[in-house]
Amino acid sequence: MIWDSDNDMNTADNSDEADLGSAETDTADAGSAGSSGEAADSTDAAQDTDESLACEDSKAEDKTADEDVKQPEDGKEPEDGKESEGAKEAEGEAGRDGSTDKKDAQIAELKDRLMRQMAEFDNYRKRTDREKKQNYDIGASDFILKLLPVVDNFERGLESVSEEEKDSSFVQGIEMISKQLLKLLEDEGVKEIDALGKEFDPAFHNAVMQQPSEEYESGVVMQVLQKGYMYKDRVLRHSMVMVAQ
């Protein structure tokens, strides 16, 4: 078999050209794919840049809005803020006024209670002083009433002394003791009830008998049988008397 070299060479050239064409085609496809990838990357980058700018714009707008809320124009506070502060000040003043009124009321109440307690204590002091004095007077009256029979016995003993014995030292000593005792009782507020020649008074006199009398009118004390005494404004013992009929 005889080979045609020209044909073989032509065939080989054609095969090489085909291979080159195929390689160029692959290169072109690769370049096209690379261009497409670069374009896609560029598009993504652009989109990221746009989103970043949009985010920054949004943040800037939010910041501007916050500044507008926090710092109004001309450095003036919002009317709502003024009203709220005014309301708070009014509430504070009202609270202070209410607290002051409450304190004043408490002070007035305490003063009233103090004045009442002072008045009650003063009344208690006066009442206790009066009761002490009354108790002392009652005790003194009882004691003096027990001494009156002693006074009576001194007087009866002196009345029974004869005229010859009156100048004796013994009788004079007894008379001095009797006068001293009467002076002591008088200093303590004891005094004799004056009854002889007075109209009969049941508040001071105790009539034990009646007799006709030419010297005294009817109803007048004509004789004192036993002396009566008073202690201050109280009758210790009524005078025992005889009344003219």
Q: State the average pLDDT over residues 218-245.
A: 92
What's the pLDDT score for residue 13?
43
Ramachandran region, residue 197 (left: φ > 0; alpha: ψ -120 to 50; beta: rest) = left
Is 177 a residue whose pLDDT tops 50? yes
Is 171 a residue whose pLDDT tops 70? yes
List the domains of the chain with CATH numbers.
Answer: 191-245 (2.30.22.10)
For 175, residues 6+ apart whose C-beta sits below 8 A from its C-beta are 158
What's the pLDDT score for residue 15?
42
pTM of the model: 0.51
For 203, residues 6+ apart whose C-beta sits below 8 A from its C-beta are 235
How many whole angstroms separate alpha carbon 130 and alpha carbon 92?
A: 56
Percentage of the chain exceeding pLDDT 90: 42
pLDDT in tens, 92-137: 666 666 678 888 889 999 999 999 999 999 999 999 999 998 888 8
Is the distance from CB of 241 to CB of 224 less than 8 angstroms? yes
Give me the half-sphere count of Cα atoms (radius 13 Å) on the Cβ side of residue 91. Answer: 6
Query: With b meaning 16 or more CB within 10 Å and e meaning fewer, what string describes 40-50?
Result: eeeeeeeeeee
Is the distance from CB of 195 to CB of 204 less than 8 angstroms? yes
Residue 119 token pair: 């008045």
